[in-house]
Amino acid sequence: MTNSGSALGAQALAGLKVLDIGGTVGTAYCGKLFAAHGADVIDVEPPGGAATRALAPYFPPRSHRQSHARTPNDSVLHAYLSANKRSVALDIAHPAGRAAFVELVRDAAVVLDASVGPRSAFDDVFAVAPSVVVSRITWFGQTGPYRDYAGTDSVCHALIGMVRGIGPVEGPPALPSGYQAQIVGGLTAYIGTLGHVIGIELGNRVEPCVLDTSIFEANTCFTDVGAVAAFNTGTVAPRMGVNRFPPTFPLGIYPCRDGWIGVTALTPSQWAAFGALLDLGDLTARPEYQTTLGRLADAATLEPIIMQRVAERSAEEIFHRGQALRIPLALVPTMEQLFTVDQYVARAAFGEIVHPVHGAFKAPVTPFRLYRTPAPRDAVAPTLGQHTRACLAAVGVDARRFDDLRRANVVVEG
């Protein structure tokens, strides 16, 4: 392990070197968490750039011409994921490129990978760095009948059963957009990988060390309670439509006078407080409504009344008054409003990422805080191959060899 020597200073993971050869959202987010706390994270990308460089959203075009021909440096998502990392553009599928990559691995603590295949694919890596942790983050893991299947975030959300109860009864289920499944997979892999790194530091070595993270399995956290209930009771809760999530009622998103409010009333005390908040009168005290199942059974009666009362009020009013009464309510801001949510502002939840080509933009910081060695709120995203020459020179690739690699189209210097 070596200190990155970056401007990040003495952070919790300073001195840890991490190489990401996966180029996916999952490996990139895992690496992002390492980088945020001081590790020297190097994206080892193919000469055309990692797959994440092609993912939306994109920076606004700098000219009419660019709007028709995006470059590898135009993805906002990639810039967010690569904050405070370095970029080496190196074709590791080429024998000469693989040899240079193995040199990079010598002092690395972690290699992040997104491929499916035998451990022997990393024999050359373990030969030079026997204690390195190879952390493989794939859709379905390295074993099982799905191991070679193609995956997407939507595929994972569907297979774990999360979307089955979302949407109108007549269907189809509603699928969320974005990269949430891969982000969860990357976070899960970060926890496991860091655990292996700590174990090695403590002298508990298992060589070769290969960690197998399944994005699919990582996302079962969203449906684990329902799965356990179904296994133990042998029954499956029926789809009940929009704002129906058995066994709880009310639970859902309701339109207010000036926005939307998320409502959850689980316990009898929360239901009583919710009734007082909306002036539901005698409805609140009825014996059959003292359980969530009792309310759910008569949702057709209760929901129109709740919707009418909510529609008469401001979302801000309901949220703050409801929270004062200890009811778990939530505002539902637009994406533009997220930056002004007072809790986010108070906790400085958004920082600035500077892109060398497109300038600065706001993005979330890491979701946890280390108070003695906090992650920096501001960061810099690398362009493709920006650090190729410097990183390879640091491991002994001299100018002549580098020029040979460049002439063979094995490296790109940003």
Strands ordered across the beta sheet of 350-355: 359-364, 350-355, 379-380
| Whole-number Å distance between alpha carbons of 402 and 393 | 8
pLDDT exceeds cutoff 70 at 25:
yes
Beta-strand pair 110-113/133-138 = parallel
Kindly state the average pLDDT of the residues 220-235.
66
pLDDT exceeds cutoff 90 at 142:
yes
Return the axis-axis angle of helices 268-277 and 315-324, rounded to nearest 10°: 140
| Whole-number Å distance between alpha carbons of 289 and 299 | 10
Give pLDDT tens digits for 161-180. 888 777 777 778 778 889 99
Residue 353 vs residues 177, 178, 337, 382: alpha-carbon distances, Å: 23, 20, 19, 10
Give pLDDT tens digits for 187-225. 999 999 999 999 999 998 777 899 999 999 999 988 766
Nearest to 105 by CA among 396, 383, 389: 396
Kindly state the average pLDDT of the residues 290-296.
93
Kindly state the average pLDDT of the residues 31-52.
97
Task: Report the range of poorest mean pLDDT among 199-208, 304-313, 325-334, 373-382.
Answer: 199-208
Q: Tell me, what's the pLDDT at 206?
A: 74
Q: Tell me, what's the pLDDT at 234?
A: 64
Give pLDDT tens digits for 377-410. 889 999 999 999 999 999 999 999 999 999 999 9
Both tokens of 180, joined, read 């949430």
Q: Indicate the average pLDDT of the chain.
A: 90
**Core vs surface per residue 391-409: b (16+ CB within 10 A) or e:** bbeeeebeeeebeebeeee
Domains delineated in the chain: 17-220+348-412 (3.40.50.10540), 251-255+260-331 (3.30.1540)
Task: Report the range of poorest mean pLDDT among 24-28, 129-133, 139-143, 335-339.
Answer: 335-339
Q: DSSP states of 239-279 as a string?
A: P--TT-BTTBSSEEEEE-SSSEEEEE--SHHHHHHHHHHTT
In sequence order, which residues have a C-beta less than 8 Å from that of residue 20 and are 6 or more positions away? 27, 28, 30, 31, 41, 42, 43, 44, 85, 111, 112
Question: Using CB atoms within 10 A of its CB, is residue 220 exposed (0-12), middle (13-18) or buried (19+)?
Answer: middle
